[in-house]
């Protein structure tokens, strides 16, 4: 086996071990404390917002406002207007493409 495959196998085993650790430790009648449960429920939204902001506004080591920011604004407006998700994606992609074409 090459070094790359050994690394892949070790990473896969570590991932499997980490994923199975939670159910093994917290399985059965155990549950998380209420404060930790609230945190786990509230955490995905800001993490997703941060991921979107980084993807739309980061360029290398600096921030840049370009066509992606326009697409983000169009998507935010479409979501605010409660349009279907497919329409949101198409509108954001079309706005980004239009700004890049100009």
Which tens digit of pLDDT belongs to each residue from 46-66?
A: 998 888 888 888 877 778 788
Which tens digit of pLDDT belongs to each residue from 55-100?
A: 888 877 778 788 888 999 999 999 999 999 999 999 999 999 999 9
Predicted structure pTM score: 0.56
Average pLDDT over residues 6-20: 91
Q: Are 72 and 56 in contact (CB under 8 A)?
A: yes
**Is the confidence at residue 7, as pLDDT, over 90?**
yes
Query: DSSP letters of 50-89?
Result: HHHHHHHHEETTEE--SHHHHHHHHHHHHHHTT--HHHHH
Q: Which residues pair with 62 in a beta bridge?
A: 59
- Of the candidates 78, 72, 80, the residue with the CA atom closest to the CA atom of residue 52: 72
């Amino acid at each position: 086996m090459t070094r790359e495959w050994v690394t892949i196998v070790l990473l896969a085993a570590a991932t499997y071990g980490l994923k199975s650790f939670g159910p093994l430790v917290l399985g059965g009648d155990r549950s998380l404390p209420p404060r930790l449960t609230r945190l786990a429920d509230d955490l995905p939204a800001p993490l997703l917002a941060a991921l979107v902001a980084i993807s739309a506004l980061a360029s290398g080591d600096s921030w840049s406002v370009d066509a992606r920011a326009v697409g983000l604004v169009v998507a935010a407006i479409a979501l605010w207007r409660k349009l279907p998700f497919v329409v949101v994606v198409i509108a954001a992609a079309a706005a980004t493409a239009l700004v890049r074409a100009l």
